[in-house]
Structure 1
Amino acid sequence: MEVSEIIIAGDTPGLEWRLPVLRFAGSNPDAPSVYMQAALHANELPGTAVLHFLCQTLREAEAEGRIAGTIVIVPQANPIGASQSHFGELQGRFELGTRTNFNRDFPLISLSDRDTLMEDLKHFPATEQLKRQLLHMALGADLVLDLHCDDESLQYAYIDDAFWPEASDLAAALDMDAVFLSDGESSAFEEAVGHAWKYEMPGEKRSVLPGKLAVTLELRGLRDVYPDMARKDADGIWTFLAARGVVVDTNVSLPSFVGPAVPLDNIEMVRSPEAGTVLFHRDIGDPVVEGDLLATIVTRPGQPDGSVEIRAPQAGLIVTRVSDRLVRRRADLMKIACDLPSRALRKAGALED
């Protein structure tokens, strides 16, 4: 395993950021190459734990000559966000100087323009330097896994239609609870990768990308950082890599994915109509039918008309739930994966900011 560092110049005098990059050289130039990163949202750490254990397995495989395709890993992809601790709480989702989500506004380029990402880096702010460096590394691979997590959540993934159903092997290997089929219309990291591949040549869009994969893995919730979970997920990624021929393991067998795979239009984003205290009646993993009581919002405590009930708009599976118990008006409360499209209007792109 080779370890190197990318140096990112800070935006104030005397400040710089160091980004460790781990590389396992492949022995077979025809095998798929892989790029994996975790903690792009710096406070989302299940993926960092997973990659820690996966690297242990990869080092053993490397010593035995079982790394076929080159694997590049960035286990903590956002040193800038990791430094943003305010009043004892890590603020890892948004860059405080610009209020920009660290997983938005990646450059949307064609693959033929990949090298332009590295031009004149010193003229860009630190966060933009980071995004360009990460995207440049990812576009050198065939398979790209971006490891995230939700708030309180089952394990699920965002997978572009262009990679489905081929990517069902990843969902099966990790025993995912659900897959959200995305439209590829945002500027998030994995969709920027997919955009570059779809427009490998400017102006010529490809709708199917065999042998390629760019995916956001949501490894349960923020607090689901445990050794047993991390080892299980690391084993799942190993199984996927073996099935794709990146590593050599003849003992691996892959089941079929049996969970729901639904387009983003079928995700009910349940929001609070009023500000108040949340009393949840249903948990992640619960199946619901239309009209089921999901939550009560206590808007005026102690008063006879001081609460509002929230009910399921249609049948589905509760995939995520917010951990906050005091919410603002229109706050996101749940994501429910459904068989039918939501009646709520949705813009193209990401479900949340």
Structure 2
Amino acid sequence: MDITHLTIDGDTPGIAWRLPVLHFTGSKPDAPKIYIQAALHAGELPGTALAHFLCERLRQAEAEGTVLSDIIVVPHANPIGAAQSHFGEMQGRFDLGTRTNFNRDFPLISARDRHLLLENLERYPAADRLKRQLIHMALGADLVIDLHCDDESLQYAYIDEAFWPEAADLAAALNMDAVLLSDGESSAFEEAVSFAWKYEVPGEKKAHLSGKLSVTVELRGTRDVYPEMAKRDAEGLWRFLAARGAVRDDHVSLPSFAGPAVPLDNVEMIRAPQAGTVLFLRNIGERVNEGDRLATIITAPGMPDGTIDVHAPQAGLIVTRVSDRLVRRRGDLMKVACDRPSTAARKPGTLED
């Protein structure tokens, strides 16, 4: 394993961040190149734990000569966000200077223009320099895995329809509970990578990208950071790498993915009709029917008629749930993956900020 460091100079005097990048050199030139990163939202640490144990396995494989692909692992991709704290609480999702989500506003370019990402870097603020260097590394790979987590959540992934159903092997390897098929209409990291591949010839969009993959994996919830869980996740990702020919492991076989795979249009974003204290009546992983009560919101504590019930607009699987119990009006409560499209209006792109 070779270690290099990216240095991100700050936008004020005396500040710089060093980003460790781990390199494993493969023995098979035509094996798919791999890029794995974790904690782009700096406080989402299940992926960092997974990367730690996966690198243990990769170092062992490297010593045994069974690493076939060139593999890059960035175990904590956002040192800028990790350094942000407000009243003692890390603020790793949004850049406090610009209020921009660290997983938005990645450059949308053609893959043939990859080299332009690193030109005149000094023109850009620190967060944009970080983003440009991350996506530059990713566009040198064939399989790109961005490890995130949700709030309270099942194990699931956002996968562009251009990679499905080929990417069902990743869902099976990581024992995912659901897959949300994205529309590729945002500037999030994984969609910016797939955009570059789709428009490798500018103006000519590829509908299917065989042999490629760019995916956001949601490794359950923010508090699901435990050694045995991380080891199982690392083993799952190892099985995927073996199945795709990135490492040699003759004992790996993958089952078929049995979970639901639904378009984003089929995801019901359950929101609070009013502010108040939320009492959840259903948990993640439960299947609900149309009209089922999902939660009660105490809008006026102690008062007659001081509660509002929230019902399921259609049948589906509860994939995520917010951990906050004091909710704002129109605040997100749940994601429910359904068989039919939602009737709620939704813009193309991501479900949440």
The TM-score, its normalising length taken from structure 2, stands at: 1.00
Residues 9-158 of structure 1 correspond to what in structure 2 (within 5 A)? 9-158=9-158
In the alignment, the residues of structure 2 paired with residue 204 and residue 66 of structure 1 have an alpha-carbon distance, to the nearest angstrom, of: 38
Residues 1-353 of structure 1 correspond to what in structure 2 (within 5 A)? 1-353=1-353
Amino acid in the other structure paired with 1:98:
T
Deviation at 1:125, TM superposition (A): 0.1
Residues 100-154 of structure 1 show CA distances to partners (whole Å, capped at 9, x for unaligned) of 0000000000000000000011111000000000000000000000000000000
In the alignment, the residues of structure 2 paired with residue 56 and residue 299 of structure 1 have an alpha-carbon distance, to the nearest angstrom, of: 50
Deviation at 1:214, TM superposition (A): 0.1
Deviation at 1:215, TM superposition (A): 0.1
Deviation at 1:5, TM superposition (A): 0.2
Residues 29-56 of structure 1 show CA distances to partners (whole Å, capped at 9, x for unaligned) of 1100100000000000000000000000
In the alignment, the residues of structure 2 paired with residue 260 and residue 232 of structure 1 have an alpha-carbon distance, to the nearest angstrom, of: 21
* Matched-pair contact (CA < 8 Å) for 1:9–1:122: no
Amino acid in the other structure paired with 1:36:
I
In the alignment, the residues of structure 2 paired with residue 13 and residue 124 of structure 1 have an alpha-carbon distance, to the nearest angstrom, of: 16
In the alignment, the residues of structure 2 paired with residue 175 and residue 256 of structure 1 have an alpha-carbon distance, to the nearest angstrom, of: 10
In the alignment, the residues of structure 1 paired with residue 285 and residue 304 of structure 2 have an alpha-carbon distance, to the nearest angstrom, of: 32
In the alignment, the residues of structure 2 paired with residue 6 and residue 174 of structure 1 have an alpha-carbon distance, to the nearest angstrom, of: 30
In the alignment, the residues of structure 2 paired with residue 144 and residue 168 of structure 1 have an alpha-carbon distance, to the nearest angstrom, of: 15
Amino acid in the other structure paired with 1:51:
A
Runs of 4+, deviation exceeding 4 Å: none
Amino acid in the other structure paired with 2:177:
D
Deviation at 1:86, TM superposition (A): 1.2
Aligned residue for 1:135, secondary structure, equals helix
In the alignment, the residues of structure 1 paired with residue 302 and residue 14 of structure 2 have an alpha-carbon distance, to the nearest angstrom, of: 55
For structure 1, which segment, 136-145 or 87-96, has the greater mean C-alpha deviation from structure 2 after superposition?
A: 87-96
Aligned residue for 2:20, secondary structure, equals strand
How many residues align? The count is 353
Aligned residue for 2:220, secondary structure, equals strand
Deviation at 1:204, TM superposition (A): 1.0
Deviation at 1:305, TM superposition (A): 1.4
In the alignment, the residues of structure 2 paired with residue 226 and residue 136 of structure 1 have an alpha-carbon distance, to the nearest angstrom, of: 31
Aligned residue for 1:219, secondary structure, equals strand
Amino acid in the other structure paired with 2:130:
L
Deviation at 1:87, TM superposition (A): 1.0
Q: CA RMSD in A?
A: 0.4
Aligned residue for 1:28, secondary structure, equals coil
In the alignment, the residues of structure 1 paired with residue 205 and residue 27 of structure 2 have an alpha-carbon distance, to the nearest angstrom, of: 32
The TM-score, its normalising length taken from structure 1, stands at: 1.00
Structure 1 residue runs of 5 or longer lacking an equivalent are: none
Percent identity over paired residues: 73
* Matched-pair contact (CA < 8 Å) for 1:154–1:177: yes
In the alignment, the residues of structure 2 paired with residue 254 and residue 286 of structure 1 have an alpha-carbon distance, to the nearest angstrom, of: 25
Amino acid in the other structure paired with 2:30:
D
Structure 2 residue runs of 5 or longer lacking an equivalent are: none
Aligned residue for 2:273, secondary structure, equals coil
